[in-house]
Amino acid sequence: MTSSPIIDSQLTDIVGLRYSGIFPKDKEPSIRTLRSWTKLRRIPSHKGGHFVYYDAAELGVHIRTKLKVPARG
């Protein structure tokens, strides 16, 4: 019997998302880019009132599976 890894589901704001460790160091997208991706629904987000929160674990999986950019050439 194999056990699945436990993923810590913790919501964070947009600033915390940039520095959560899911993006390469010194190559984090800008806050403006993250807001644009949220508006275009390219990344998953959760809304509470007028605040927007992100689940870093959920977003990491989404980026690895859905946002792959094909190689040129």
pLDDT tens for residues 17-62?
988 888 888 888 899 999 999 999 999 999 988 999 999 899 988 8
Total number of domains constituting the chain: 1
Whole-angstrom distance, CA of residue 35 vs CA of residue 51: 12
Position with higher pLDDT, 52 vs 7: 52
- Can you tell me whether residue 4 is helix, strand or coil? coil
pLDDT reported for residue 6: 47
Contacts of 28 (CB under 8 A, 6+ apart): 18, 19
Domain that holds residue 18: 11-66
40 falls within a domain: yes
> pTM for the complete prediction?
0.73
1 falls within a domain: no
Token digits for 46?
A: 């959760």
